[in-house]
Chains A and B, each alone.
Chain A
């Protein structure tokens, strides 16, 4: 277990006090999201349509250094960060 930073988009920041990210102890993306929702239950409805099932307009990326790619369920690497990216429509 290690501290993982989860970056939240503007659309979710009203539900979480602070500066737009949360640090949780987790070894994988599913663990990290579970810990996030446990700490901030209001986020659960925003992120998941059913327990463990991400809503189809929500993407989760893992950033390793300068590159980022869609998250899978595998273990997180040292220094990896998670970024939640929902669709927004403003123009």
Chain B
């Protein structure tokens, strides 16, 4: 919804309890009672209840954004708790949305929380995302980021962008009526495996706290219609140096989704766009059309003494925690794979594994582009192996 339409919307009264709760807002000229009522009448959809979504959801709920939606399909994992402050130890194993709903209800019972327990996909994105005043993107992968961008442009809804890696973050506001969109800045995704994810390269736990609160700030400013948002600027956050840089960005006239002659008028297959192969069935056999095998198939090949090269694409420290060296695994971290290509035997099948699967998928995609046809990934990675065959293995 445009700001003009939002400004014409009738705003509800604040109850006595709400007046007390939002007192520090009411005394800010840029918010005041009118702004607080406007927040109460507004809505925001969060994509992901993870590192970025956690602080964004908490602060937007605390601020009194009237209706908050959250899309997520994951459950809380112990490794999430280092940064995903919506969730606590007691929530491990529970749905992230259940955890988020109860936490946000505790923060502010005046806020309506709507949850969508599903993976955001082209088939459901327009229906889920339609009708919200603003979207806050806290997703953790490139296909979803391009999907969120394109859906927001097509729906005419701005979104607050945030992304993190190690000590660095990026933030902006995309898809406003005048400003650039995500594709104007990043025309295409990187080839699979070229840019590491947080699971691969790590992230400082507090970093999403910084970037997610910037996202919440931008969303609240947009809903209030006050201040200057990050539309047309890319904010870079370097927590290692504690530097913030603002870079000017503009709409790309040749952008395929928001440019003058946009060709992208409906949502596409974003997994394919980002170079990811569609997931294979668990019972898939090894061939070029089915780049995954399950751990049972790996075990069968080991037991049958079939020839293969088992490549672990995790990092050194992960190898030290647990590995499959006893069944012939060799460590080649994903980032080092290009340098190891010449050492791989092109005649012998290659089996890739990582911790849980995604890096292996990227490694397979990369090796296939390098002409390796007989290469597969182990679905579920070493975690699936440990669960099936080695329950005493130290996992992480």
Contact = CB atoms under 8 A, between A and B. Distances in A.
A1 interface: no
Contacts of B191: 55
A45 B164 contact: no
B195 A88 contact: yes
A68 B195 contact: no
B236 A85 contact: yes
A68 B186 contact: no
Please classify the interface of chain A as helix (H, G, I), strand (E, B), loop, or mixed, using the class held by over half of its residues.
Answer: mixed
Given A56-B188, A57-B189, A11 B201 contact: yes
A42 B141 CA distance: 24
Nearest to B203: A90
Interface in B132-153: 137-142, 145
A91 B139 contact: yes
Interface in B179-202: 185-191, 194-198, 201
A81 to B, nearest CB: 10
B218 interface: no
A55 B240 CA distance: 26
A11 B234 CA distance: 17
Contacts of A69: 247-248
A68 B165 contact: no
A58 B164 CA distance: 16
Interface in B215-272: 234, 236, 240-241, 245-249
Given A10-B168, A20-B241, A68-B247, 19 more contacts: A11-B195, A56-B187, A57-B190, A63-B245, A67-B248, A68-B248, A86-B195, A87-B142, A87-B145, A87-B185, A87-B189, A87-B190, A89-B141, A89-B197, A90-B51, A90-B197, A91-B51, A91-B139, A91-B198
Interface of B: 48, 50-53, 137-142, 145, 162-168, 170, 185-191, 194-198, 201, 203, 208, 234, 236, 240-241, 245-249, 335, 338-339
12 contacts: A11-B195, A55-B190, A57-B186, A57-B187, A57-B190, A67-B246, A83-B245, A87-B163, A88-B165, A89-B139, A89-B195, A91-B50
Interface of A: 9-11, 14, 20, 42, 45-46, 55-57, 59, 61, 63, 67-70, 83, 85-91
